[in-house]
Structure 1
């Protein structure tokens, strides 16, 4: 009798072990790690004790709660009205899948069907665009044409997903040359550093071509005809610039919206964000500091008028790339390199040393008026990777900069009171983490 009981116990143990193995292969919760199949979305890594990975972060955030996704793609997109985050994961057969999660809870949202980009060797781009009170996540890739088009042709392929439900629309635009795909306005803009481009309507999927020959120039602006380039989309139309000065075709002209104290014929847009343009200007001729300083101004994209400005030393060497403007979720604060602007209070800050060298590079900013960056970093990406000098925090309330602990990882963005952080482990797997703000 005892022998029979032992046998039953062994059989029961085998059954339990098999069930555990089945659950281990089918369940999970690594939020997008290596996949052996083409299964639907898995939840992000969450537990009562918080994410497994505990980074050194600014004291405003806690690592005791939050969520973690392993092996997410290098890019992500945010929807602030819904609190959703979208990210890409690899799927079998050189394919990718778009997944979403709720940034406040870490719970998995909808997951799109797997698809193959035009160039499997490059991770697709990922953006967020809003039009007609609707929001969309957009993935895009560029490469040779597929069925039905000339084998030698290339095109931009876009998948447009409705943010809340995940309904997808595919749009393919024949395109030659390396494209830039941006969303500074209500449409998706495809451009190539020239005067032409194409606009894709995210709601209807329609494509509007803008040939370079259709460009019109402001009267009396000779510099507008040199190195003419599409820079973005505004509520009033496409934003264009020349070697100096910028304008909206059929709309406003930068010369009429120059900041006070600037030479109105010298404006150069350096970065475009939804609804806003960051531009640099020479000081007016005869100004006391015209030989050593230049003016940076934030312009309303709808009118072209300057809303706030600040003076900084002119760099000894013109930078190869200008700082990218980064907005807080509400749009009140803007940071770019060593510049910071409170758009509501109309205050501008320039953080530089006495000799004019940049004191720091700011890379992210929150609605609470906290900005984060690094000293001696060449750009925002370097600061977020923890390279360059030491990490710092800046307060818009006081205008002061405070050094953070040397190993502090900076938040790339904040949404729904959650800071978004990145980290790569020793196995070269990227981790995407959400740590809540304290209080």
Structure 2
């Protein structure tokens, strides 16, 4: 929903003419007194003399103090601004609520929420001191059984004098998005963890085959040993470079060197998209409900030597939702871009790839020689994606690097924006763009600019 504000126009009061009644002096004290009273009072009983000057018009809000240059879709004349917040923030898909972290004067951390549409504060959690307290905890969202949660997590020693790597934990604080009710879960963990909250649970992994699953509703922790990953038959590559990638309602999503599967569920070889080599699937990024995978084209096909097939799969069924072909890179990237999904779940972007999942369209934004200079960092429910060229990754885009670009995913076209434009990192369901900016004191500002009328 988008609020529209009408322009306030100045209202002026018209001057009232006084009717001066001149009386002839007949004589006597009573008549003289009456004449003086009439001259002072204006003659008309109960009427006040009008201000000859019109009243000043009511001023409209000047918007947030920080006035960034943003795409024309948004207005900076309204909105809100938060100063000194965490690098991470989280948006609730079910309530639209925005969560962020602040550091208190005592060195503790507190989760706070606001309504992005109005900027009004919502519930706040209690302050706490996590392990590795010198750094902001990470902030995620997770949904299970139609219940949504904000999750903060940090990794470190139980106490300042605890030995390493023993006595290290992953500390999770799980908050109900609606009420702010919190429960803490602490999981002993000996190595640097990966924490995945694409749903329907929270997966803590080591980047390999060791993992645990945390139920955000109950806090129950379930350890999943490597032997329980249920490797598919006749898949030698599945046992090389094995990595737990996420969770579905049927079990863990796992990848090998070239193929991937769901524990006891579907197998990539059996859900390969049309035109792909069925034994070549590599999942590059997982987002709520979907996985983005890279496939080699069928051997002998016209573009097999120069192109790859990129496909978005449904994580519950493995079904290929939409695909697009793109040039192979000259050098394989060390890390693939993280997929970003719009609040509605209808659009997905990753690097120079974009997908309209509702319409079944895929786009690879590159020049005719296969140059992939564009990196898309965010996408709105209206199908507009934002990014920049000449950058390494999405973090560079959101920090103001490169040359900003706007992409229309309904038409599959891009437009260059002015070089000084900052692009949003996300857009709330109500159409409020979220922008990041660091001031000269290295304080992070989170700014909400609504869509222009």
TM over 0.5: yes
Q: Deviations over 1:302-353 (max 9, x none)?
A: 1112111011110000001101111111111111100011111111111111
Measure, in 1, the Cα distance between the counterparts of 2:229 and 2:152: 29
Specify the alignment match of 2:385 in structure 1. 371
1:234 and 1:301 in contact (8 A); partners too: yes
Specify the alignment match of 2:61 in structure 1. 48
Residue of 107, 115, 122 corresponding to 2:135:
122
**1:109 Cα deviation from its structure 2 partner:** 1.0
Specify the alignment match of 1:153 in structure 2. 167
Specify the alignment match of 1:286 in structure 2. 300
Q: CA RMSD in A?
A: 1.4
1:299 correspondence with 2:313: yes
Residue of 207, 211, 228 corresponding to 1:214:
228
Specify the alignment match of 1:84 in structure 2. 97
Specify the alignment match of 1:310 in structure 2. 324
**1:94 Cα deviation from its structure 2 partner:** 2.6
**Where does 1:169-208 land on structure 2 (aligned, <5 Å)?**
169-208=183-222
Specify the alignment match of 1:341 in structure 2. 355
Measure, in 1, the Cα distance between the counterparts of 2:147 and 2:122: 18
1:392 correspondence with 2:405: yes
Specify the alignment match of 2:81 in structure 1. 68
Q: Secondary structure at the match of 1:382?
A: helix
1:59 correspondence with 2:76: no
Q: Deviations over 1:189-234 (max 9, x none)?
A: 1011111201111111111111123222111100001011101112
Specify the alignment match of 1:14 in structure 2. none
1:235 and 1:275 in contact (8 A); partners too: no
Residue of 263, 281, 290 corresponding to 1:267:
281
Measure, in 1, the Cα distance between the counterparts of 2:350 and 2:81: 28
TM-score when normalising by structure 1: 0.87
**1:276 Cα deviation from its structure 2 partner:** 0.3
Measure, in 2, the Cα distance between the counterparts of 1:249 and 1:146: 36
Residue of 366, 370, 376 corresponding to 1:356:
370
**1:121 Cα deviation from its structure 2 partner:** 2.2
**1:133 Cα deviation from its structure 2 partner:** 1.9
Measure, in 1, the Cα distance between the counterparts of 2:148 and 2:229: 30
Measure, in 1, the Cα distance between the counterparts of 2:129 and 2:135: 11
Q: Deviations over 1:102-130 (max 9, x none)?
A: 10000111111111111112211111111
1:93 correspondence with 2:106: yes
* Greater mean alpha carbon deviation, residues 243-252 or residues 211-220: 211-220
1:131 correspondence with 2:144: yes
2:352 and 2:366 in contact (8 A); partners too: yes
2:259 and 2:268 in contact (8 A); partners too: yes
Q: Secondary structure at the match of 1:383?
A: helix
Specify the alignment match of 2:421 in structure 1. 408
Specify the alignment match of 2:17 in structure 1. none
**1:150 Cα deviation from its structure 2 partner:** 8.5
**1:254 Cα deviation from its structure 2 partner:** 0.1
Measure, in 1, the Cα distance between the counterparts of 2:230 and 2:122: 46
How many residue pairs were aligned? Answer: 391
Q: Deviations over 1:242-277 (max 9, x none)?
A: 111000111000001111001000000000001100
TM-score when normalising by structure 2: 0.84
2:356 and 2:410 in contact (8 A); partners too: no
Specify the alignment match of 2:36 in structure 1. none
Gaps of 5+ in 1: 1-46
Measure, in 1, the Cα distance between the counterparts of 2:157 and 2:285: 30
**1:146 Cα deviation from its structure 2 partner:** 4.5
Q: Secondary structure at the match of 1:74?
A: strand
Specify the alignment match of 2:338 in structure 1. 324
Structure 1 runs, 4 residues or longer, greater than 2 Å off? 149-152
Specify the alignment match of 1:228 in structure 2. 242
1:254 and 1:305 in contact (8 A); partners too: no
